[in-house]
RNA sequence: GGGCGUGUAGCUCAGUUGGUUAGAGCGCAUCCCUGAUAAGGAUGAGGUCCCUGGUUCGAGUCCAGGCACGCCCA
C-alpha cells in the first residue's frame, strides 16, 4: 500500500475532554470567535436575550451552571440559525445581600451600629464587597462555554443605571403611581426596613412557635364581666397587648358551651366544639347555638389593660348617627375560617394586614377624628415600648414566654402548645424573624395595573406552559402594591426630594436635572470626598450619603429647601429595570434600547417567579403598557408581550441525594471538580438531554459522567473511526472542490467533491442514514425553535446511536475493501456528510466537542476555505423531501428481524461465530417481502447463517391471530368493536389471510350484519409454535434452522481461530495494515483441519501472507500467544513481514 | 388552609390526538465481538402505570374524589 497524504490529523483514541476543552477555550479567545459570530450576523434580524444579573458577592454554585448552560444554548442556536444575538452581561450590586455581607465582616448587625461606623465608610466597604467573587463568576461563565460580553456588563450601581431608574421612578411619580403610604409591611426589625413580597418569599423557614388559646370574658351592657368567655387562638402572643377587636363570621354557627372544669361558659365555632374539647381533654356541654352575627357588637375584656384602662370606655360619634365604643368588641369579617383556631379571631391591626383593614373599616364608620386609633406597643426595632411597661425593651419574640406566664398566672391562658409552621425570616440575616408592622413607606401602585399585567402575561410563551395561568398568573391575580422603599444605605437612592416647609414631594430624573435646580447646594460633599480619595469611582456621587447632601430651593414655598427622602429602593427594582437601564435609557442609549426591546428569550430558575420575572413584567407594564402621558420623556406604548416573549423556567437543582443542595450536607460536587474530571460538555449534555429543564434536576456526578459514554464518546468513536480509515485510504473531501470559499460545507459544496455521487445513486444503507440525518435536523429545528431542548437532544442522541450502531457497524467491511472503489467512496462521503452535519447540529449543545470535530473534519482538509469555527456555520435545517419514511420503516424491520434472530440464537445458546444453515422469516405483512429479499445478504451476515428464506407456508411453526386495527376501525365501528372481536376470534385466521391476499378484501358476518374489511383494517399477530428456535416480534417471526453439518462446525472453528489470531495481533501491537507470517500450534485435529480447510479465509482476515499449522503443543515463550478455544489449546505465533508506510 | 406541580421498572426519566405486547438510559444477569480495542454490541430478568370511582367498544393517557411527595404562598 502506498502512503497517501493525510487529509485529517490522526485522532488520539484516548481523548481527555477537559484538556480538549481547554484547547478550544484558548482557540476561541485568541481568534475572537464569539465576536466573529456576531460580526457574521451583523445585518441579520435580532434575537434578543436578557441576562438576569447575578450577585457577584456570593460564590456561584451548581444551580448557576444550569442557568448559564441554558442561557448559552438558545443564543448559540439562534446565532447559527441566522440571527444576531448580542449577549450583554450584568451584575446585581445593590441591596441587602451586600450590606449583610459587609456587616458580617465588620462584626456588626444593627442600623445603629452602621450609623456609628459611618455611612460613608460603610458604603465604601459595600462597593469593595460587590465584586469579591467576580473572578469565580467569570471563570465559571467562560469555562462552561457561556458566550457573553463580560467586559460590557451592565452594573446596577453605575451612575447611568441609577439615573435610568430615576427616570423611571419620576415617570411613575408624575403619573401618581408612586406614593407614600401608611401600611402594614413585612418588617425586618433588626435591619430597620420593610421587605418586598419577593424578599419575604425567600426567607420562609419551618419553626416551632407557641400556640396559645386565650379566653376573653364577654361584658354585659353595664361593662361588667359575664360568666361567658370568647376563646381565641394565636401563634403570636406578643400581639395580644395590642389587641383591638375579635372577629367572627356572621353566617357561621357558634356554640356556647359549659366547661365544668372552669365553671364558665366558652364561645367557639359549633363545628370546632368536639375537636377542641378533645384537644383540651375536656367534656363540653353545648348550651346554646347561634349565628356569629349575634355576637357582633358585644364587648369583651382584653387580656391586657395597657390601653384598655384608658380607652376601654371611650366612644365616638358615628357618621350615621349614634355612638360606638372604640374597640374591644366583636366585629364581623369574611376571612374567618374553621380550619384552625376557634372561629374567633384576635385582631391586632398593627401586626396584620387583614387586621389593619378591619381597623380601617371600623374607623370609616366614625365621624372624622372620632374613631379608634391604631394601637401599637412595639417600636420599629421590634422591642416593646413604654406603652407595655412590663415588657418594655424586650424583643417581641423573646417576650412571648413572659406574656404567656402572665396570662397563665391570671387564669386567662386556656391552653398552650407548640405549633410548627412556616414563618418568614430575613432572607439575608437568617436568624432574624420578620414581623408585620405599620410603617410609612413608598409604594408603587401596581395593583392598579393588575389587569394590564395579566393581559401582558397572557401573551408570554412560558415553558412550562402552566406557569402562565398557574404560579405566575395566580401571583399576579393577588397583586398588592409594591413596597418599594428600604430604610437602608447601599441601594439606588429614591429620587424624591421633599419640601421641608410644606412636606410636598418632587421626583428628579437625573443627576444633571438635579444640578440644574435653583439654588443647588451640597455637591461639595462629594467633591471633598473625591479629593480626599481620588480612587473613588464617579458613580458613587449618586449614592448615599453624597446624594443626601444635595438640596435645592423649594418650588412650593419661597425660602424653603428641598431635601431628599432618606430611603433607597428595593434591589429587585434594579434588576427589573434592566431592559432600559442597561443602556442608560432614556438619557443615553436610545437606539440600543429600541433594538433590544423586548427580549425574545430569558431563563431563570422558578424562584424568580416573584423575583425577576415579576419585576421585569411589572416595570415594563407600568412604563410601556399604556399610552404615554403628555410631556413624558422616553415612554411609548409597546404591544404585549414585553419585556420578554419566551421564558424558560428552570427547576430547582437538587443534590446527589435528591435533597436541596447544602454546603453542610456536602451533597454535591463543586462545578470546578466536574469541569476538571469530565468537562463542561458532559455537564451541559447532562442538563440538556436528561430531563425537561423545568423539572427538578438532580445534580449527580454519576449522571454527568454517564453522558460521556452515552453520547460524547459514542460520537467521538465514530469520528475516530472515520479519520482512521480516511487517512489510511487517503480520502480527501477537499481534493476536487474548486470553490475558494467552501463556507460551512453545505451539501451543495460537498457535491463538488471527488467521487461524490448524488444520494439517490448510493446504496440503501447510505440513503437510509442520510434520510435519518435530514429527518433529525428537521425535527431538532422544530423543537429548538420552540425552546424544547430536551426532545431535541434526545433526537440527536438517537441519531448518533443509529450512526454508530447501525450505519458504521454495517459499513465497516466497506471501509476494509482495498482501494477507493465507488462503493467505498460512497461510504466515505456519506459518513463524512453525517459527521460534518452532526457536528453543526450538536454545536449549540456541546460547543467544545463540536468545535474539535470541525477543526479536524473541516479545517484540516479545507484550511482557510471553510469557516474558522463551527459556531459561525448555518444550522442545518434538513429538507422534508429528503426524508424517506418508507425506507426508515423498512430499515426498522430489518433491524427487528436481526434482533429477533439474535434473540433466538441466545435462547438456544448458539454463539454468533457458529454459522447456521438457514433462517426462516415469517412476516406479519407479506407486502414487505420483495423488498426484504434484497437484504437477505445483510441479514445472513448479521445472523451468520448460510441462507435466508421467507416462508410462504409457515403453518408448521406459526400460529396466526388476526386482530382489528383499532386506530383505524375504532372511530368507524364504535360500539360494534366487541362484535368484530368476537367474529375474528371465531374465524380461521389462516383462511382469512389467504382470502385477503387473493381477493384484497374479505366480508365478515357480525352479529348485527356484514362488514367488509381490507388488509389495512386488520393486524396479524404471529406466534411461534413450541419446539423451534424462534423469536417473535410485532412485524415478524424468525425461526432458526439449527442443524449443524461438519462443514459448518469447521467454519465455526475457523472463525474462532481468526479471533484468536486478531487478539494476538493486538497483543503484539500490530498496525492495522501490517502483514504477518503465521504459525498455529494445536494437537487438536478438528482445529488443524479447520485451519487448513479455511486457510484462505483465515489469511485474508488476518493479513497473513503465510500460514503454517503445527500439530504439537504450543512451545513456551513470549513469542507464542496461547488461546483456549472450547476445550482445545491453540498457540499463535506471528511475525510482521513489513510495516505499512514503508516501501515494499 | 390555598395555589401549582409531580407520582410509570431497583435508580433517573420518556410516553404524541385515548387504540391492541407501556418504552429508554443506568444498574443487574447471561453472553457476544475483538480491524472503533483502556472501546463496542446483543439478549434477558424486572411494571397493580399511587388508590378509588366515572366516561368510553377501549384509559398510563380524559373527568371526579382521595393519598403521598415537592415547590410557592397564607
pLDDT tens profile A270-312: 878 877 777 777 888 888 888 888 888 889 989 888 888 888 7
pLDDT of residue A1: 39
Query: Which nt is closest to the CA of A709, judged by C1'?
Result: B39
Q: Is A279 a catalytic residue?
A: no
Rounded distance between C-alpha atoms, residue A566 and residue A574, angstroms: 18
Which CA-bearing residue is nearest the C1' of B39? A717
pLDDT band at residue A618 using 50, 70 and 90 as cut-offs: very high
b/e map of A985-1001 (b: 16 or more CB within 10 Å)?
Answer: eeeebeebbeebeeeee
- pLDDT > 70? residue A774: yes
Query: Which nt is closest to the CA of A1073, judged by C1'?
Result: B35
Q: Half-sphere exposure of A960 toward its Cβ, with a 13 Å CA cutoff?
A: 23
Rounded distance between C-alpha atoms, residue A784 and residue A211, angstroms: 53
Q: Is A663 a catalytic residue?
A: yes
pLDDT of residue A286: 85
Q: Which of these is catalytic: A167, A186, A187, A612?
A: A612
- Å between CA of A708 and C1' of B40: 14
Say if pTM beats, i.e. exceeds, 0.90.
Answer: no
- Å between CA of A470 and C1' of B62: 20
- pLDDT tens column, A1026-1072: 667 777 777 778 888 877 788 888 888 888 888 888 878 877 777 76
Rounded distance between C-alpha atoms, residue A633 and residue A638, angstroms: 15
Q: Which of these is catalytic: A572, A694, A768, A1028?
A: A572
**Alpha helix positions (H), A699-763:** 701-707, 713-729, 747-750
User: If we measure between CA atoms, which residue out of A1120, A1057, A1121 comes closest to residue A1086?
Assistant: A1057
Query: Which nt is closest to the CA of A609, judged by C1'?
Result: B72
Q: Is A19 a catalytic residue?
A: no
Q: Is A53 a catalytic residue?
A: yes
pLDDT band at residue A52 using 50, 70 and 90 as cut-offs: very high
- Phi/psi of residue A182, nearest 5 degrees: -105, 120
Q: Which of these is catalytic: A62, A72, A88, A92?
A: A92
Q: Which of these is catalytic: A310, A339, A663, A880?
A: A663
Query: Which nt is closest to the CA of A966, judged by C1'?
Result: B19
- pLDDT > 70? residue A664: no
Give the whole-number percent of chain A exceeding pLDDT 70. 97
- Å between CA of A961 and C1' of B44: 26
Query: Which nt is closest to the CA of A11, judged by C1'?
Result: B36
Query: Could you say which nucleotides of strand B lie within 7 A of any protein CB atom?
Result: 1, 3-5, 12-14, 17, 19-21, 25-26, 30-44, 56-58, 70-74
pLDDT of residue A456: 94
- Å between CA of A1026 and C1' of B48: 30
Query: Which nt is closest to the CA of A713, judged by C1'?
Result: B39
**Alpha helix positions (H), A730-763:** 747-750
Q: Is A612 a catalytic residue?
A: yes
Give the residue-averaged pLDDT of A1115-1134.
Answer: 77
Rounded distance between C-alpha atoms, residue A151 and residue A29, angstroms: 13
Give the residue-averaged pLDDT of A635-640.
Answer: 95
Residues 6+ apart with CB under 8 A from A347: A243, A244, A245, A246, A247, A331, A355, A358, A359
pLDDT of residue A927: 78
Residues in chain A: 1144
User: If we measure between CA atoms, which residue out of A482, A444, A433, A438 comes closest to residue A205?
Assistant: A433
Q: Which of these is catalytic: A53, A97, A372, A861?
A: A53
Asked whether the beta carbons of A846 and A73 are under 8 A apart, the reply is: no
Cis peptide upstream of residue A464 (ω within 30 degrees of 0): yes
Which CA-bearing residue is nearest the C1' of B73? A201
- Å between CA of A205 and C1' of B50: 29
Q: Which of these is catalytic: A440, A660, A911, A982?
A: A660
- pLDDT > 80? residue A862: yes
Which CA-bearing residue is nearest the C1' of B42? A902
- Å between CA of A613 and C1' of B49: 36
- Å between CA of A112 and C1' of B8: 58
Q: Is A92 a catalytic residue?
A: yes
- Phi/psi of residue A489, nearest 5 degrees: -125, -50
Which helix (H) or strand (E) covers residue A983, if one does? helix A977-986
Give the residue-averaged pLDDT of A850-879.
Answer: 94
Q: What's the CA dihedral at A98, A104, A105, A110 to 10 degrees?
A: 90
pLDDT of residue A1143: 33
- Å between CA of A1020 and C1' of B73: 56
Instruction: Tell me the three cell numbers of residue A1128.
Output: 482445545
Query: Which nt is closest to the CA of A1063, judged by C1'?
Result: B34
Residues 6+ apart with CB under 8 A from A960: A989, A990, A993, A1020, A1021, A1022, A1023
pLDDT of residue A1140: 46
- Å between CA of A239 and C1' of B21: 66
Query: Which nt is closest to the CA of A470, judged by C1'?
Result: B4
- Å between CA of A1035 and C1' of B47: 24
Q: Which of these is catalytic: A498, A596, A608, A1032?
A: A608
Amino acid at each position: 500500500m502506498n502512503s497517501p497524504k493525510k487529509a485529517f490529523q490522526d485522532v488520539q483514541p484516548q481523548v481527555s475532554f477537559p484538556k480538549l476543552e481547554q484547547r478550544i477555550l484558548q482557540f476561541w479567545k485568541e481568534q475572537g470567535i464569539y465576536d466573529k459570530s456576531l460580526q457574521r450576523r451583523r445585518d441579520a434580524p435580532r434575537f434578543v436575550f436578557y441576562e438576569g444579573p447575578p450577585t457577584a458577592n456570593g460564590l456561584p454554585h451548581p444551580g448557576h451552571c444550569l442557568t448559564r448552560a441554558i442561557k448559552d444554548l438558545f443564543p448559540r442556536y439562534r446565532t447559527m440559525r441566522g440571527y444576531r444575538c448580542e449577549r450583554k452581561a450584568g451584575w446585581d450590586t445593590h441591596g441587602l445581600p451586600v450590606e449583610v455581607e459587609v456587616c458580617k465582616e465588620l462584626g456588626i448587625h444593627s442600623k445603629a451600629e452602621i450609623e456609628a461606623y459611618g455611612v460613608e465608610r460603610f458604603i465604601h466597604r459595600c462597593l469593595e464587597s460587590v465584586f469579591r467573587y467576580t473572578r469565580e463568576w467569570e471563570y465559571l461563565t467562560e469555562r462552561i462555554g457561556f458566550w457573553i460580553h463580560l467586559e460590557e456588563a451592565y452594573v446596577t450601581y453605575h451612575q447611568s443605571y441609577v439615573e435610568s431608574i430615576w427616570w423611571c421612578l419620576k415617570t411613575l411619580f408624575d403619573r401618581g403611581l408612586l406614593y407614600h403610604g401608611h401600611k402594614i409591611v413585612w418588617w425586618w426589625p433588626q435591619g430597620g426596613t420593610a421587605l418586598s413580597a419577593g424578599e419575604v418569599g425567600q426567607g420562609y423557614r419551618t419553626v416551632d412557635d407557641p400556640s396559645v388559646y386565650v379566653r376573653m370574658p364577654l361584658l354585659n351592657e353595664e361593662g361588667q364581666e359575664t360568666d361567658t368567655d370568647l376563646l381565641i387562638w394565636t401563634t403570636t402572643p406578643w400581639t395580644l397587648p395590642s389587641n383591638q377587636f375579635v372577629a367572627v363570621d356572621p353566617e357561621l354557627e357558634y356554640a356556647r358551651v359549659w366547661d365544668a372544669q372552669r365553671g364558665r361558659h366558652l364561645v367557639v365555632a359549633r363545628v370546632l366544639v368536639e375537636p377542641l374539647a378533645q384537644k383540651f381533654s375536656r367534656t363540653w356541654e353545648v348550651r346554646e347555638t347561634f349565628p356569629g352575627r349575634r355576637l357582633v357588637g358585644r364587648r369583651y375584656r382584653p387580656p391586657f389593660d395597657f390601653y384598655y384602662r384608658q380607652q376601654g370606655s371611650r366612644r365616638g360619634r358615628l357618621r350615621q348617627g349614634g355612638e360606638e365604643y372604640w374597640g374591644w368588641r366583636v366585629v364581623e369579617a369574611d376571612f374567618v375560617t374553621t380550619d384552625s383556631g376557634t372561629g374567633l379571631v384576635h385582631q391586632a391591626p398593627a401586626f396584620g394586614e387583614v387586621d389593619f383593614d378591619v381597623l380601617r373599616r371600623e374607623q370609616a364608620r366614625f365621624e372624622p377624628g372620632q374613631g379608634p386609633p391604631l394601637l401599637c406597643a412595639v417600636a420599629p426595632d421590634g422591642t416593646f415600648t413604654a406603652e407595655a411597661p412590663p415588657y418594655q425593651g424586650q424583643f417581641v419574640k423573646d417576650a412571648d414566654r413572659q406574656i404567656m406566664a402572665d396570662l397563665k398566672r391570671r387564669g386567662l391562658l386556656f391552653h398552650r402548645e407548640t405549633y410548627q409552621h412556616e414563618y418568614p425570616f430575613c432572607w439575608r440575616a437568617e436568624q432574624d424573624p420578620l414581623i408585620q408592622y405599620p410603617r410609612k413607606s413608598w409604594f408603587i401602585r401596581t395593583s392598579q395595573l393588575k389587569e394590564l399585567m395579566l393581559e401582558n402575561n397572557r401573551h408570554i410563551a412560558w415553558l412550562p406552559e402552566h406557569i402562565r395561568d398557574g404560579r405566575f398568573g395566580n401571583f399576579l391575580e393577588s397583586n398588592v402594591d409594591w413596597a418599594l422603599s428600604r430604610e437602608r444605605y447601599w441601594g439606588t437612592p429614591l429620587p424624591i426630594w421633599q419640601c421641608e416647609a410644606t412636606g410636598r414631594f418632587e421626583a428628579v430624573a437625573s443627576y444633571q436635572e438635579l444640578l440644574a435646580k435653583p439654588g443647588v447646594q451640597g455637591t461639595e460633599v462629594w467633591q471633598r470626598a473625591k479629593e480626599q480619595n481620588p480612587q473613588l469611582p464617579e458613580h458613587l456621587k449618586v449614592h448615599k450619603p453624597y446624594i443626601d447632601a444635595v438640596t435645592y430651593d423649594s418650588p412650593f414655598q419661597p425660602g424653603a429647601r428641598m431635601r431628599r427622602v432618606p430611603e433607597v429602593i428595593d434591589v429587585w427594582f434594579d434588576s427589573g429595570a434592566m431592559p432600559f437601564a442597561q443602556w442608560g435609557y432614556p438619557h443615553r442609549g436610545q437606539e440600543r434600547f429600541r433594538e433590544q426591546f423586548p427580549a425574545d428569550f430569558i431563563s431563570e430558575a422558578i424562584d424568580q417567579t416573584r423575583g425577576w420575572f415579576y419585576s421585569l413584567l411589572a416595570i415594563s407594564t407600568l412604563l410601556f403598557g399604556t399610552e404615554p402621558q403628555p410631556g413624558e420623556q422616553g415612554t411609548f406604548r409597546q404591544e404585549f408581550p414585553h419585556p420578554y416573549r419566551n421564558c424558560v423556567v428552570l427547576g430547582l437543582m437538587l443534590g446527589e441525594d435528591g435533597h436541596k443542595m447544602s454546603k453542610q450536607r456536602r451533597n454535591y460536587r463543586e462545578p470546578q471538580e466536574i469541569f476538571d474530571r469530565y468537562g463542561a460538555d458532559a455537564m451541559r449534555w447532562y442538563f440538556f438531554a436528561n430531563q425537561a429543564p423545568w423539572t427538578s434536576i438532580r445534580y449527580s456526578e454519576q449522571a454527568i459522567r454517564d453522558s460521556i459514554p452515552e453520547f460524547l464518546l459514542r460520537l467521538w468513536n465514530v469520528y475516530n473511526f472515520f479519520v482512521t480509515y480516511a487517512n489510511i485510504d487517503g480520502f480527501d473531501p477537499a481534493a476536487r472542490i474548486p470553490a475558494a470559499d467552501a463556507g460551512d460545507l453545505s451539501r451543495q459544496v460537498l457535491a463538488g467533491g471527488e467521487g461524490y455521487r448524488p444520494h439517490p445513486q448510493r446504496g440503501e444503507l447510505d440513503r437510509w442514514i442520510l434520510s435519518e440525518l435530514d429527518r433529525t435536523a428537521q425535527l431538532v429545528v422544530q423543537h429548538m425553535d420552540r425552546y424544547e431542548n430536551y426532545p431535541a437532544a434526545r433526537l440527536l442522541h438517537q441519531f448518533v446511536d443509529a450512526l454508530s450502531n447501525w450505519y458504521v457497524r454495517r459499513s465497516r467491511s466497506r471501509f476494509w475493501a482495498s482501494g477507493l472503489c465507488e462503493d467505498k467512496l460512497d461510504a466515505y462521503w456519506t459518513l463524512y456528510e453525517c459527521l460534518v452535519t452532526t457536528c453543526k447540529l450538536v454545536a449549540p449543545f456541546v460547543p467544545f466537542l463540536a468545535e474539535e470535530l470541525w477543526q479536524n473534519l473541516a479545517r484540516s482538509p479545507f484550511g482557510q476555505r471553510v469557516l474558522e469555527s463551527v459556531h459561525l456555520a448555518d444550522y442545518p435545517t434538513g429538507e422534508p423531501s429528503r426524508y424517506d419514511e418508507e425506507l426508515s420503516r423498512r430499515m426498522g424491520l430489518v433491524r427487528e428481524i436481526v434482533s429477533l434472530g439474535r434473540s433466538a440464537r441466545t435462547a438456544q445458546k448458539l454463539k454468533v461465530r457458529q454459522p447456521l444453515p438457514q433462517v426462516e422469516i415469517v412476516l406479519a405483512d407479506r407486502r414487505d417481502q420483495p423488498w426484504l429479499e434484497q437484504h437477505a445478504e445483510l441479514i445472513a451476515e448479521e445472523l451468520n447463517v448460510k441462507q435466508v428464506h421467507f416462508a410462504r407456508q409457515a403453518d408448521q411453526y406459526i400460529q396466526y391471530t388476526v386482530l382489528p386495527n383499532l386506530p383505524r376501525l375504532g372511530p368507524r365501528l364504535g360500539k360494534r368493536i366487541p362484535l368484530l372481536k368476537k367474529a375474528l376470534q371465531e374465524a380461521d385466521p389462516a383462511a382469512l389471510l389467504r382470502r385477503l391476499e387473493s381477493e384484497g378484501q374479505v366480508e365478515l358476518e357480525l352479529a348485527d350484519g356484514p362488514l367488509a374489511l381490507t388488509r389495512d383494517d386488520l393486524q396479524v399477530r404471529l406466534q411461534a409454535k413450541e419446539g423451534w428456535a424462534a423469536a417473535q416480534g410485532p412485524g415478524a417471526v424468525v425461526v432458526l434452522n439449527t442443524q449443524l453439518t461438519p462443514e459448518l462446525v469447521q467454519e465455526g472453528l475457523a472463525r474462532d481461530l481468526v479471533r484468536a489470531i486478531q487478539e494476538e495481533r493486538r497483543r503484539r501491537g500490530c498496525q492495522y495494515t501490517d502483514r504477518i507470517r503465521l504459525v498455529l500450534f494445536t494437537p487438536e485435529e478438528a482445529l488443524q483441519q479447520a485451519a487448513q480447510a479455511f486457510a484462505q479465509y483465515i489469511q485474508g482476515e488476518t493479513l497473513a501472507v503465510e500460514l503454517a499449522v503445527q500439530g504439537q503443543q504450543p512451545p513456551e515463550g513470549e513469542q507464542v500467544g496461547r488461546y483456549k478455544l472450547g476445550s482445545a489449546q491453540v498457540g499463535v505465533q506471528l511475525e510482521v513481514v513489513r510495516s505499512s508506510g514503508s516501501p515494499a
